């Protein structure tokens, strides 16, 4: 029996039944193998750029008896698929900048894709910015904590399928005490997550504030103009985060 981590389990829930899945950076191919065993996907591609994880994925698929359902391929990003070959793509467990670069480099391979499920470890704003700039509507965000780490999972569909304007998600949001979460804040902190203001989300941004304070303390020991400029930039960011955390409650709605 294949068991998924809490993180992968939440990603699995975002994959619709009857999907043809391409899991990019599949590692041990646990996600597609689990979904195939559950009968959720009718076809799967497990893509991996490194030989070690590729071999591990091949072994997993063989051990699960899924060779006819899942094809393990060695290649960089979306180079492992052809246009129209998958209708759902999952990319998890890497930086947001890297995820955005994979999507950008493989734009031609997104033909026929009806859903993206993306889980950046860091740099979530880069993923949101790519989706916004390339005609994808963010339909949902999930945040969870597992083994001391906090993860965000972003799900998006093509604008043509959503029938909604992606820009509408990032219109300034007025919260308590007249505080406004502008476009930059919503791209960074998440348009849905800001409105939900869950305990895990609050914990994440409280931790981010602590990191920024430590950086500013270190910069304060330097008298260079570059250090002063950076410190001012970080303190302005801290102020924005503090204001949103203070004003954001579960009652805040679009």
Is 130 in the same domain as 178?
no
d(CA 172, CA 175): 10
Phi, psi of 28, deg, nearest 5? -90, 10
Is 155 in the same domain as 187?
no
Cβ atoms of 220 and 231 closer than 8 Å: yes
Is 216 in the same domain as 243?
yes
Is the whole model's pTM more than 0.85, yes or no?
Answer: yes
pLDDT value of residue 228: 85
d(CA 144, CA 123): 16
The end-to-end CA distance of the chain, in Å, is 42
Closest CA to 34 of 53, 56, 15: 15
d(CA 88, CA 45): 10
The model's pLDDT over 170-191, given as tens digits with 9 standing for 90+, comes to: 999 998 888 899 999 999 999 9
> What is residue 67's DSSP assignment?
T
Q: Which two tokens stand for residue 103?
A: 């999507």
Report the DSSP beta bridge partners of residue 70. 44
Is 195 in the same domain as 226?
yes
Asked if pLDDT for residue 71 goes beyond 80, the answer is yes
Please report whether residue 49 resides in a domain: yes
d(CA 36, CA 46): 12
Domain boundary residue, one of 115, 135, 163: 163
Domain boundary residue, one of 115, 145, 163: 163
Domain boundary residue, one of 163, 188, 220: 163
The model's pLDDT over 110-164, given as tens digits with 9 standing for 90+, comes to: 999 999 999 999 999 999 999 999 999 999 999 999 999 999 999 999 998 888 8
Range of the domain at 100: 6-163
Give the residue-averaged pLDDT of 192-208: 95
């Amino acid at each position: 029996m294949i068991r998924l981590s809490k993180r992968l389990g939440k990603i699995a829930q975002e994959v619709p039944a009857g999907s043809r899945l391409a899991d990019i950076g599949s590692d041990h191919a646990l996600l597609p193998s689990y979904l195939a065993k559950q009968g959720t996907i009718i076809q799967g591609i497990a893509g991996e750029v490194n030989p070690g994880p590729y071999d591990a994925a091949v072994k997993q698929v063989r051990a699960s008896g899924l060779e006819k359902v899942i094809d393990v391929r060695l290649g960089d990003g979306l180079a492992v698929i052809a246009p129209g070959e998958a209708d759902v793509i999952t990319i998890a467990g890497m930086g947001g900048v890297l995820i955005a670069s994979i999507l950008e480099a493989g734009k031609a391979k997104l033909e026929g894709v009806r859903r993206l499920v993306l889980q950046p470890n860091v740099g979530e704003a880069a993923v949101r910015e790519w989706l916004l700039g390339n005609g994808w509507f963010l339909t949902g965000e999930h945040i969870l904590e597992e083994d001391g780490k906090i993860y965000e999972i972003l799900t998006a569909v093509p604008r043509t399928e959503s029938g909604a304007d992606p820009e509408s998600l990032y219109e300034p949001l007025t919260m308590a005490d007249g505080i406004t979460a502008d476009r930059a804040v919503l791209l960074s902190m998440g348009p849905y997550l800001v409105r939900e203001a869950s305990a895990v989300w609050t914990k994440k941004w409280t931790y981010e504030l602590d990191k920024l304070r430590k950086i500013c303390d270190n910069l304060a020991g330097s008298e260079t103009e570059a250090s002063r400029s950076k410190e001012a930039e970080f303190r302005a960011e801290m102020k924005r985060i503090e204001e949103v955390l203070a004003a954001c409650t579960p009652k805040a709605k679009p």
